[in-house]
């Protein structure tokens, strides 16, 4: 059994590093059964990560997202009530992005399309351009296909945008350029608790 205080071997901390972006972009076509990232690429860049920062992020993640009272309140929340908090708790506090209005921000809520008035629920930005658009749905949304279509529409309306993130607050899907290839991350305690409740 894994020690809950020690971070698992994961790629969630490094998903937006420029090196991973470059490696993923250079890979070209892939076998449909291959993971989004090659194991060798992940190993290479995981070795370069700051272990203390990963441990700090994992501790923040488990403290917040593994709290049963918080989980229950998240399940009861509507999308609009919780989306800003989700961006702050996961992307800012756990993964280390800086939320607007803080100086040097690279994470924005309600990010407007370049050509129309529609807005993604959030975006990770660099040099005033969206690198990733984020579309969030409430926990009652089990099928994230609608969120995916909506998010890729936002991506198409952002110059140079590569990444798409969709979530219903317990499942997160991460895409690079294409809607057919993604990595899925599930908050496991929530899933296990739901399965126990259903039995």
Cα gap 82→74, rounded to integer Å? 7
Measuring CA to CA, which residue among 158, 162, 136 is closest to residue 36?
Answer: 162
Measuring CA to CA, which residue among 58, 17, 33, 46 is closest to residue 176?
Answer: 17
Cα gap 106→100, rounded to integer Å? 7
Residue 193's pLDDT is 47
Cα gap 195→131, rounded to integer Å? 35
Residue 82's pLDDT is 95
Residue 194's pLDDT is 46
Residue 165's pLDDT is 96
Residue 89's pLDDT is 95
Cα angle for residues 39, 5, 170 (degrees, 5° grid): 70
Written as tens digits, the pLDDT of the chain (199 aa) is 444 444 443 333 333 433 433 343 333 334 445 566 778 888 888 889 888 988 899 899 999 988 999 999 999 999 999 999 999 999 999 999 999 999 999 999 999 999 899 999 999 999 999 999 999 999 999 888 889 999 999 999 999 999 999 999 988 999 999 998 888 887 644 444 444 455 4
Residue 187's pLDDT is 67
* 16-26+36-198 belongs to CATH 3.90.1570.30: yes
DSSP string over the chain: ---TTS--S-SGGGTT-HHHHHHHHHT-S--TTS-SS-HHHHHHHHHTS-HHHHHHHHHHHHHHHT-HHHHHHHHHS-HHHHHHHHIIIIIIIIT---BTTSTT--EEEEEEPSSSS-EEEEEEEETTEEEEEEEE--TT---THHHHHHHHHHHHTSTT--EEEEE-SSEEEEEES-TT-EEEEE-HHHHHHHHHHH-
Cα gap 118→110, rounded to integer Å? 9
């Amino acid at each position: 059994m894994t020690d809950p205080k020690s971070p698992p071997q994961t790629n969630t901390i490094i998903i937006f590093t420029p090196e991973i972006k470059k490696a993923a972009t250079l890979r070209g076509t892939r076998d449909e059964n291959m993971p989004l990232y090659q194991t060798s690429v992940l190993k290479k860049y995981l070795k370069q990560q700051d272990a203390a920062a990963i441990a700090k992020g994992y501790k923040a993640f488990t403290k917040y997202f593994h709290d049963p009272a918080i989980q229950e309140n998240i399940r009861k929340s509507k999308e609009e009530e919780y989306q800003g908090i989700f961006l702050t708790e996961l992307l800012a506090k756990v993964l280390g992005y800086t939320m607007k209005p803080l100086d040097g921000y690279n994470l924005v809520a309600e990010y407007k399309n370049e050509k129309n008035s529609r807005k993604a629920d959030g975006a990770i930005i660099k040099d005033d351009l969206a690198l990733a658009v984020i579309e969030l749905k409430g926990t009652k949304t089990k099928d994230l296909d609608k969120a995916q279509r909506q998010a890729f529409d936002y991506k198409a309306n952002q110059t140079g945008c590569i990444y798409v993130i969709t979530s219903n607050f317990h499942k997160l899907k991460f895409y690079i350029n294409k809607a057919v290839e993604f990595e899925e991350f599930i908050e496991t305690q929530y899933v296990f608790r739901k399965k126990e409740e259903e039995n």
